[in-house]
Amino acid sequence: MKQKITNKVGKSRLDWIKKWGGLMVLSLALAIIIIDTTLLNVSLGPIIKDLNTDLQGIQWVITLYALVLASFTITGGRLGDLFGRRKMFIAGALIFALGSFLASISQGLPLMIVGEAIIEGFGAALMMPATASLVIANFKGRDRAIAFGVWGGVAGAASAIGPILGGWLTTNYSWRWGFRINIVVAVLVLIGALLFLKESRDAKEKKELDFIGIALSSGGLLLVVFAIIESATYGWWMAKEVFTVGAYQIPMPWGLSITPIALWLGGLLLALFVWYERVHEAKGKTPLVSIGIFKNWQFSSGLLTLLVMSLSLTGLIFALPVYFQAVRGQDAFHTGMSLLPLSISLFIASPFAIFLTKFLTPKRIIQLGLALTILGVICINAGISVAGTSSLMLLGLILFGVAMGFVQSQINNLTLSAVSVQQAGEASGISGTARQLGSSFGSAIIGAVVLATLTASLMGGISKSSIIPEVAKDKISQAVSSQSSSAEFGASPELGKSVPPVIVTEIKSITNQAVVDGVKRGLDFALVFAILSFFVALGLPNVKNLEKEKGKSPVAAH
């Protein structure tokens, strides 16, 4: 009898270790995926120099990574449902490690694009939905709330840690170590997956893949995200530049920009995708996405909140490094360190939010977090100046970190607990796509606003300057306009050795003010997104117990 009790206790401890050890593995995998999306932001200058390319080339690396991840995350989730989430998680880690290795040895832009953007992006698209769906499959009740609190906290913290880690490696070693560390972490994740993770899949579904659905959804999302990101280059409506593919110029009809055309084609493909999925499912086939899942209000409202919230978060993480580098003159490492208050407060707030669930529903915690987001953005914006000494920015970063800790520790549990375990991969794939679309749109929109305002402010400052001679203003304006993106890296435009030092000093002063104007305008948009996410969250169901009974979603009390 004593031996049986001892064996039972030993087995219980082993189960506990495997369950929570598995969570650490999933959280670590999520961290390297998210860190990889932010790591390059503070390392652009050295990468451009080493690969002998330009800013536009590296923007394509970052853009394609986001596009691949956004386009194939739903597919990755579906593959996990059909063939095994653990299998897809392991396959994704292997592919991710391969892409990181190719990126780390790249000597030119083509191999960097293949390794970082395409191969890594696809590996991440297999891993990311598997992390969330395996949490759903392995945890229940309060354990699931705690697990999602840890998982969501890691997601938010990784966004802040990425610039710090990337900056430290770039400044002290090389940007290539950012990718090499991915390989080491991927190996640890693979070992952990084999030791701790149990297989999970939807046994009722036929093992068939909806290739037409994949093509329509991926193509539609690709075109929409492309249009948003490239709007700064080609214009929102009328063409600012001729659309080019490689060495070929492709003029659009009636002088239109590629942006509205890509948006229209993307919208058309997505509409066809919805129609096709309905028809495909009605025929008894297995769709890529069951359209009926969006009838689940708890899931849909959580999804929309996640998407809009990501607009503000990613936009802020994009805009602040521009200010730190250009105005404060910080290197990659110190740029990342400036975001440390956000990271630390997020780490503290995430577990505290779990404690708050004893007194508040997830909806109220999320609303509290989004209200703090608004206050945080206001304080950060108020603290940005050419002098750059205001303590308001520090307060704002802390508030923003606490806000993200509250929101991200709860939003995934509230959203994904609304679906059954059988729909876990599909739902987490859609959730991951929403997050990536929000991130892509946030950085694209706010990035375009920052650069457009920066350029306009530069031109206005030169025009109004009493130090720059009138006869030289046109020539200097042209030189500054063609090099305005150099301000993002803290450099003044090159004006030639014949320009007097007093004018060079004046241009630097004007440039600093222009960057401040651009970043503040970008944060105005981040504030709008934060306010919008608060009002979107009003539609979240006010549920207390997120554990479903008998496979049904909890009843929401609004």
pLDDT digits (tens, 9 = 90+) for 418-463: 777 666 666 777 877 777 777 777 777 787 788 778 778 877 877 7
Could you tell me if 26 and 16 lie in one domain?
yes
CATH number of the domain within which 148 lies: 1.20.1250.20
Could you tell me if 417 and 463 lie in one domain?
no
> Is residue 149 a part of any domain in this protein?
yes
Using the 3D structure, point to which of 265, 287, 309 is the last residue of a domain: 287
Could you tell me if 121 and 215 lie in one domain?
no
Among residues 357, 81, 64, 362, the alpha carbon closest in space to that of 204 is found at 81
Could you tell me if 189 and 255 lie in one domain?
no
> Is residue 548 a part of any domain in this protein?
no
Could you tell me if 254 and 139 lie in one domain?
no
Could you tell me if 234 and 274 lie in one domain?
yes
- Asked whether residue 161 carries a pLDDT value surpassing 80, the answer given is no
Give Cβ neighbours of residue 474 (< 8 Å, ≥ 6 apart): none
Provide the strand spans (E) within 165-260: 243-245, 248-250
Could you tell me if 193 and 228 lie in one domain?
no
> Is residue 545 a part of any domain in this protein?
no
CA dist 193 and 462 (Å) reads 58
Residue 433, classed as helix, strand or coil, is helix
pLDDT band for 153, please (50, 70, 90 cuts): low
- Asked whether residue 404 carries a pLDDT value surpassing 80, the answer given is yes
> Is residue 547 a part of any domain in this protein?
no
pTM for this model (two decimals): 0.75
Tell me the residue range of the domain where 466 lies. 455-517
CA dist 508 and 254 (Å) reads 40
- Asked whether residue 492 carries a pLDDT value surpassing 90, the answer given is no
Could you tell me if 233 and 325 lie in one domain?
no
Could you tell me if 233 and 331 lie in one domain?
no
- Asked whether residue 342 carries a pLDDT value surpassing 50, the answer given is yes
> Is residue 558 a part of any domain in this protein?
no
Could you tell me if 295 and 394 lie in one domain?
yes
Could you tell me if 245 and 295 lie in one domain?
no
> Is residue 555 a part of any domain in this protein?
no
DSSP 113: I
What percent of the chain is predicted at pLDDT more than 70?
A: 79
Using the 3D structure, point to which of 253, 271, 287 is the last residue of a domain: 287
Question: Residue 372: what pLDDT?
Answer: 93
More confident residue, 194 or 417: 194
Question: Residue 268: what pLDDT?
Answer: 94
Q: Which 3-state string (H, E, C) describes 499-557?
A: CCHHHHHHHHHHHHHHHHHHHHHHHHHHHHHHHHHHHHHCCCCCCCCCCCECCECCCCC
- Asked whether residue 490 carries a pLDDT value surpassing 50, the answer given is no
> Is residue 93 a part of any domain in this protein?
yes
More confident residue, 269 or 390: 269
- Asked whether residue 556 carries a pLDDT value surpassing 50, the answer given is no
How many domains does the chain fold into? 3
Could you tell me if 130 and 192 lie in one domain?
yes
> Is residue 552 a part of any domain in this protein?
no
Residue type, 89: F
pLDDT digits (tens, 9 = 90+) for 174-204: 888 888 888 888 888 888 888 877 777 665 6
Average pLDDT for residues 67-95, to the nearest whole number? Answer: 81
Give Cβ neighbours of residue 170 (< 8 Å, ≥ 6 apart): 42, 43, 46, 178, 332, 333
